Structure 1
Amino acid sequence: MGMKLYGLAMSTNTSRAMVCLHEKEVDFELVPVDVFSGEHKLPPFLSKNPFGLIPALEDDDLTLFESRAITAYIAEKYKETGPDLIRKNNAKESALVRVWAEVESESYDPAISPIIYEYLVAPFQGKEPDQSVIQPNIDKVKKVLDVYEQRLTTTQYLAGDSFTLADLNHIPNTHYFMNTPCASLINDRPHLKAWWIHISSRPSFRNLVHALTFGQNNSS
């Protein structure tokens, strides 16, 4: 039985897992979950993720949820094939991968996700972007991006000079962020902009970018 990923490609969390699967050239089936009708809150999906959030991954008798746990699992299981996303033979580089992956989860995502929601998801739901939410998160994002810009003056990627899970986990949110009026926050930081061009040009992401449709006319 092959891997099954339950979710929606337009979802940042689902596409994070998909990018990792594509990097490792793993065959998998994307099983759509209709979150717009609340399918993710019904017992069949809740048996896979009791928190009712996409995605969930089934690999034989193993079921995982939380997209970053899924990418870590894929990177570890297939560490001998494709790019070395966890720097498996270098303890120091491996530790840096974990540091910057943690930064993405704890600092980058919490600041950037509300901005994406207000500019791209809220209009999809017929609501106006709420500037009282956007502005304080822009201030948070600027502080995080300043740290990234400084880091990327010394290395090509966040954990060193190789593309790793630390970079990969940033891709879906950054893609959507670049489709908001705040894109200049990355474009105006030259090292950060170069990093984004590098990681967003990878075939693993180019293969599915067409499906990340929030904020576009075909998002329905």
Structure 2
Amino acid sequence: MVLKLYSAPEARAGHGVVALVLAEKQIPFELVLIDQSAKQHKTPEYLGKQPWGQVPYIDDDGFVLYESRAIARYLAEKYADQGTPLLPPPSDLQKKALFEQAASIEFANFHPLAFKLILEKVVKMMNGQPVDEVAVAGYIAELSSNLKIYDEILGKQKYVAGDELTLADLFHLSYAPSLAPFGIDVMTTAGLNVTRWWNDLLSRSAWVELQAQGIRGTSP
């Protein structure tokens, strides 16, 4: 049974990251579109699978899993021997620890601020609501300060967990790509190393294709 991805079609947020992992790992899947505008993600049937009423979730032959980071880890481990390697080998304890360190940094020091910027600037602008520019400036300042540390780290290695691409890098593509179109260029002003790394992620062929075509199912 082919894996099913229950998702909105746009390659953004957590479902965009999951779609990117599916593409990088060359995993066939069936896309089950969820119309959030019609509140399909809030129906009793959907909540029976994803109790928080969010996208995405996957159904892998009866195994249901939600939360994009958990899904990404599951897919990267299950399909470790195909597509782009996205996790260190289990036998390399030090590389595995460095990956977990980088993933924790993204979750604690990057994602919360990027998400706050999305809510305060992007969502409000799209809905024609007033934006608290003072709050936005504060979030940008804090994220820029954190990215200065990223710049130091990336001056010593190619990616956030070392010299090899991992899920810790891809997790940054959840919300940050939506910032620049709304005038927040923090990802390209924090330092040359961050800019180099960020442009590397945005130029990955799988990501470029997802942005152009949206999320689509693939054939086995």
CA distance in 2, matches of 1:163, 1:107: 19
Q: TM-score, normalised by structure 2?
A: 0.89
For residues 56-71 of structure 1, what are the structure 2 equivalents within 5 Å? 56-71=57-72
1:206 corresponds to 2:208 = yes
Distance 2:21 2:81 in 1: 14
Residue range with higher mean Cα deviation, 160-169 or 30-39:
30-39
Q: 1:145 aligns with which of 147, 158, 162?
A: 147
2: CA distance, partners of 1:125 / 1:59: 36
Once residues 209 and 102 of structure 1 are traced to their aligned partners in structure 2, the CA distance between those partners, rounded to angstroms, is: 26
User: How far did residue 31 of structure 1 move?
Assistant: 1.5
Question: 1:184 Cα deviation (Å)?
Answer: 4.3
> How far 1:132 sits from its partner (Å)?
3.8
In the other structure, the counterpart of 1:114 is: 116
Displacement, 1:177?
A: 2.1
Q: Secondary structure at the match of 2:181?
A: coil
State the match for 1:161 in structure 2. Answer: 163
| More divergent stretch after superposition (177-186 vs 134-143) | 177-186
Determine helix, strand or coil for the equivalent of 1:93.
Answer: helix
- Which residue does 1:6 correspond to in 2? 6
- Superposition map of 1:67-86 within 5 A: 67-86=68-87
SS in 2 for 1:25: coil
Partner of 2:44: 43
CA distance in 2, matches of 1:105, 1:185: 16
Contact 2:144 2:190 in 1 (8 A): no
Structure 1: gaps of 5 or more residues: 213-220
For 1:32 and 1:199, the matched residues in 2 are separated by: 26
Alignment CA distance shift 1:188-1:148 (3 Å): closer
Provide the rounded CA distance (Å) in 1 between the counterparts of 2:62 and 2:187.
43
For 1:177 and 1:115, how far apart are their aligned partners in 2?
8
**Larger mean Cα displacement after TM superposition, 116-125 or 63-72:** 116-125
Residue 16 of structure 1 corresponds to 17
The runs of at least 4 consecutive aligned structure 1 residues that moved more than 4 Å come to none
> Aligned pair count?
212
Report if the CA contact (8 A) 2:148-2:190 is conserved: no
Q: Quick one: which amino acid aligns to residue 171 of structure 2?
A: N
| 1:127 is the counterpart of 2:129 | yes
Higher relative contact order (CA 8 A, sep 6+): 2
Cα RMSD after superposing both structures: 1.7
Q: Give the Cα separation in 1 of the matches to 2:3 and 2:124.
A: 32
Alpha-carbon distance change, 210 to 119 in structure 1, aligned in 2, over 3 angstroms = farther
| Alignment gaps of 5+ in structure 2 | 215-220
Q: CA deviation at 1:12?
A: 0.7
Contact 2:144 2:186 in 1 (8 A): no
Q: Alignment identity in percent?
A: 30
Deviation for aligned residue 1:9: 3.5
The superposition leaves residues 21-42 of structure 1 with CA deviations (integer Å, 9 ceiling, x where unpaired) of 1000111122221222222111
Matching of residue 33 in structure 1 with residue 34 in structure 2: yes
Q: Is the 8 A contact 2:3 2:30 kept in 1?
A: yes
Q: Does 1:87 align with 2:55?
A: no
Per-residue CA deviation, residues 77-116 of structure 1 (Å, 9 max, x unaligned), is: 0111122211114221111111111211222110011212
- Take 1:9 and 1:148, find their aligned partners in 2: how far apart are those partners? 31
